[in-house]
Amino acid sequence: MEVSELFGYIGALLIGVVLGLIGGGGSILTVPILVYALSLNPVVATAYSLFVVGSTSLIGAIQNMRKGMVDFKTAFVFAVPAFIAVYLTRAYLIPAIPDIFFEINGFVVTKNLAIMLFFALIMLLASVSMIRSNNKENEEATSITYNYPLIIVEGLVVGVITGIVGAGGGFLIIPALVLLAKLPMKKAVATSLFIIAIKSLIGFLGDVQNLDIDWTFLLLFSAISVLGIFIGIWLNTLIDGKKLKKAFGWFVLVMGIYIIYKELAG
């Protein structure tokens, strides 16, 4: 096993640990690990990321379901437009993007470069969300109401973004559930994992028809990430995950800037 491959599998463990420790954010590491440590093509990496994100989120969602924390009606209202959008994005939009996206004054923007730059932008937005997160989360029991038009639009937008970058988009989903469906924060976090699991795995189905999937590698990588979740949950009893969330946000910010630099310099 090469050193870069070893780092890739260590990264798979880290994805799960972060998810188990702070309840989200780990999926934002999946694509950089697959691209830079394991040298996968960005299109393949974003596809594999959907499977990894979906599998790991499903584990967390099942645990939340057992605790009665998932609001299924809200989840399906949000998830239906999201999974339609993510499936169509993976099955039709991504394959339709030309290898040479566009060219400006001799600078060629390829499909792979465009995907990685867009992914880096999402990383920067996610990092700001984590850094600015308020520890005084509203847990008051309020009657759940639905702003259906905005929820549908938000679901479609999140679905397209998830389809392009292969990340869960929890930093977009959770505020939407709190603001548009009036869910308490803990229920919003739990419900978001269920939504992420559904839309990520359905989005991955859009890739099965277009890509040759290395199932042996993908299942091993996902299994290591799932193991990391249980390690993260155990560590969460020893360490305050909320304090780590801002530190992780700064790390994601640096990673996003690094990806932009590496892709443009390359």
Say whether pTM exceeds 0.75.
Answer: yes
CA 107 distance to own-chain centroid? 30
Write the DSSP symbol of residue 184: -
**In the chain, what percentage of residues exceed pLDDT 90?**
14
d(CA 206, CA 250): 33
Q: Which residues have CB under 8 Å from 264's CB, separation 6+? A: 117
Q: Which residue has the higher pLDDT, 144 or 220?
A: 220
Q: What does the pLDDT read at residue 223?
A: 94
Write the DSSP symbol of residue 68: T
d(CA 133, CA 128): 8
Q: Is the per-residue pLDDT at 135 higher than 60?
A: no
**The token pair that represents 182 in the structure block:** 């009036």
**Residue ranges per domain, the chain?**
3-265
Q: What is the mean pLDDT of residues 116-125?
A: 88
Q: Which residues have CB under 8 Å from 110's CB, separation 6+? A: 99, 100, 101
Partner residues linked to 104 by β-bridges: 107
Q: Which residue has the higher pLDDT, 254 or 141?
A: 254
In the numeric block, the tokens 């559904």 are attached to 198
Cβ neighbour number for residue 20 with a 10 Å cutoff: 26
Q: Of all helices (H) and strands (E), which one includes residue 104?
A: strand 100-104
Q: Is the per-residue pLDDT at 37 higher than 80?
A: yes
pLDDT band at 131 (very low <50, low <70, confident <90, very high): confident
d(CA 84, CA 34): 25
d(CA 10, CA 42): 20
pLDDT band at 231 (very low <50, low <70, confident <90, very high): confident
Task: Look over the chain and give the mean of its residue pLDDT values, rounded to a whole number.
Answer: 83
Q: Is the per-residue pLDDT at 5 higher than 80?
A: yes
Helices vs. strands in the chain: H and E counts, helices first: 11, 2
d(CA 176, CA 171): 9
Condensed to tens digits (0 to 9), the pLDDT of residues 46-84 reads: 899 989 988 888 888 888 888 888 888 888 888 888 889
